[in-house]
Structure 1
Amino acid sequence: MSAAAPQAELRLVVLGRTGPGQSPAGCTILGLQDSEQGPGEAVSQECKHRGQNADRQLVVVSSPAWFSSGCSPEDRRKQISSFVALSSPGPHAFLLCVPVNQPTDGEDKALDALTKLFGPSVVSRHTIVLFTHTEELEEDEQLDEYLVTWRKDLRELVERCGGRYHTLESRSGGEAGERDAVEELLQMVEQMVKESGTQHLSCPLYDEAEERVRQRQVEVVRRRRAEELSEEASPSDSQPEENVTEEELESVRDEAERSVGDLDVDVDDIFPSTSVSPSSSSFLQGLWEKLMDWLRWLPRLVRREALFGALVGLFMGGPFGGMVGATVGSVATEVGRRKTQKTK
């Protein structure tokens, strides 16, 4: 596959669960230190940074986990409207940060929501899975091997995104490994843009956002002109000129994007009410975290698939649930035993 020509500017939207992984990804792409991101910026509100890395001009927009079950409809609408306006006229790629050590329920919902927001092609043609927490893998285990052997749920997530995935967490460490990882990611984005046949994602919601941004740009320029004239002239002479140049519009773009307001987003249709309460979701997440903690104390042959079996047995209950859990655990152990023998 031939490399695509570099874009003049790449706009990337980083999505993921609130917490470690999402903010470092944006910093790594732009070559920023964590301290340059601003305390708590990427986990509590939308943020936009411009920068240059790997000989490319980059715009990275990070957004809170508006697709999570604990987000209210009002917050969803505001957060979706904000990241859409900040990445207008459209991103070249969505980067969905996915921790390899957790289940994928939230990320599946994120892809479903993106499809409803921007159309059926946004996931298959404009989204890349960006894996985080790869330090949780065994020391000699490669990411692709882990996905194939243990995590069918992560493989299915990647398949929805056209088979594209990457990680910025280089095991070789150092600045050289980080630079190579960023270069590979940006090449993947450019190749994806080339294959999609479009300059960037385009859809009615982004068209609406861009129209509003342009309107706000004109309003901001005229307001500033009026303020300048009011300081230099009498009230009767303080009407700003009607013509607005492109240079003036670009100079106020960031302010205009941040003041667009809520877009026409039907969050009730995108996120229908479910019978699963936030407390139930929190319980399941807590249970998963406990199981992952126990994994650190288990023998190396007893891997994550065995825990999936235990989880199935726990919720199914009864003899049948126990039988399913035991069977999955036995299969995982046998696979691990054969794998170990093969490497000796």
Structure 2
Amino acid sequence: MEGLQKSTYGTIVEGTGAYHAAESYWLRILLVGKSGCGKSATGNSILCRQAFKSRLRAQSVTRTSQAEIGTWEGRSFLVVDTPPIFESKAQNQDMDKDIGDCYLLCAPGPHVLLLVTQLGRFTAQDTMAVRRVKEIFGAGVMKHMIILFTHKEDLTDETLDGFVTHTDNHSLRSLVQECGRRYCAFNNRASGEEQQGQLAELMTVVRRLEQECESSFYSNDLFLHAHVFLSGDKSEHQEAYRCYLSKVRQEVERQKQELKEQEVSWVAKMLYRVKPCMGLHIFIIVCGLILIAILINLLITKGN
């Protein structure tokens, strides 16, 4: 295993060209979710070692994107942990850099986006995190998403499938459908055989996703820009990086606008479908009122 070194873009593999030479063959897993959801602890569980800094707290410990390497049945994989960029108010002067660095570590694109959320605690913050994922990476990224529930140990007499099937959380049920019902669960305190078993379950879902996507990874214009930047002339590094971050800002804004337009279009379609039904209901109600009025009139007439 090669060493790891800190770079401008987080943590990457040491060695001339080592990262880029191997990137086409590695399985790339990007951890996403709200702050404090357990992304780093989940990354450690996947790697079966303490690679990412993790603590039990509601706020994120991770401040920059970080990538670590693991292996599973002879295949190398890259796990990328992310800073708090999926919050509704996640706007600061370093946001473009944080998003840009995340793209750089995942270039040319992730095979899997692993949405981390606590079992039984899917809240409005999680829903907002999913929206931010779409804004940052594009709505098409949902085809590569797997939901990972932490706190698997809380499943006592119920299976994970049973929990997902019978949950009364409509937002979660909708998300599960949007993700093609791809999910699994971890106990991030597990070790040994239990930890290996969890990883095996995750990799089973990953293989299913790869079959559905024909082994392709997710990419968009920004991942292409990131790939070009990493392959570019290092003599003009700073200027190229500023230009790259400018593209990050523009593309994220464009994707946010596209998402809004898609939502407006969806609402318009729903209203169009509902409108004929509403007209029919109104017609039935009016006919009913007319019938009641006629009956009342007949009763009054007979009474006289």
Cα deviation, 1:103-156, whole Å, max 9, x if unaligned, reads 332332333333344444310x2110011123344x212222222323433222
Give the aligned partner of residue 151 of structure 2. 133
Asked if the contact 1:81/1:262 (under 8 Å) is kept, the reply is no
Return the alpha-carbon distance in structure 2 between the equivalents of residues 203 and 110 of structure 1: 20
1:16–1:58 Cα change, 3 Å: same
Return the alpha-carbon distance in structure 1 between the equivalents of residues 117 and 30 of structure 2: 14
Identical aligned residues as a percent = 28
Count of residue correspondences = 225
Asked if the contact 2:108/2:227 (under 8 Å) is kept, the reply is yes
1:96 equivalent to 2:115? Answer yes
Cα deviation, 1:296-322, whole Å, max 9, x if unaligned, reads xxxxxxxxxxxxxxxxxxxxxxxxxxx
2:228 partner SS: helix
Give the aligned partner of residue 10 of structure 1. 27
Give the aligned partner of residue 219 of structure 1. 234
Asked if the contact 2:86/2:128 (under 8 Å) is kept, the reply is yes
Give the aligned partner of residue 87 of structure 1. 106
Return the alpha-carbon distance in structure 2 between the equivalents of residues 83 and 67 of structure 1: 12
CA displacement at 1:269 relative to structure 2: 5.7
Give the aligned partner of residue 26 of structure 1. 43
Give the aligned partner of residue 162 of structure 1. 180
Aligned-residue RMSD, C-alpha: 3.1
2:224 partner SS: helix
1:48–1:29 Cα change, 3 Å: same
1:87–1:189 Cα change, 3 Å: same
Give the aligned partner of residue 129 of structure 2. 110
Unaligned stretches of 5+ residues in structure 1: 1-6, 224-255, 273-344
Return the alpha-carbon distance in structure 2 between the equivalents of residues 57 and 42 of structure 1: 26
CA displacement at 1:44 relative to structure 2: 2.1
Query: TM-score scaled to structure 1, two decimals?
Result: 0.57
Which stretch shifts more, 110-119 or 79-88? Answer: 110-119
Cα deviation, 1:2-59, whole Å, max 9, x if unaligned, reads xxxxx941000001222252111111111212xx424679622211112223432011
Return the alpha-carbon distance in structure 1 between the equivalents of residues 88 and 191 of structure 2: 37
Asked if the contact 2:42/2:188 (under 8 Å) is kept, the reply is no
Question: Is the radius of gyration larger for structure 1 or structure 2?
Answer: 2
Cα deviation, 1:72-98, whole Å, max 9, x if unaligned, reads 153432221111111001111100001
Counterpart pick for 1:177 among 165, 185, 194: 194
Unaligned stretches of 5+ residues in structure 2: 1-23, 258-304
Return the alpha-carbon distance in structure 2 between the equivalents of residues 271 and 77 of structure 1: 14
1:53–1:43 Cα change, 3 Å: same
Counterpart pick for 1:264 among 217, 238, 248: 248
Query: TM-score scaled to structure 2, two decimals?
Result: 0.64
Counterpart pick for 2:165 among 125, 138, 148: 148
Which stretch shifts more, 12-21 or 87-96? Answer: 12-21
Return the alpha-carbon distance in structure 2 between the equivalents of residues 178 and 48 of structure 1: 20
Return the alpha-carbon distance in structure 1 between the equivalents of residues 141 and 71 of structure 2: 25
Counterpart pick for 1:199 among 209, 216, 238: 216
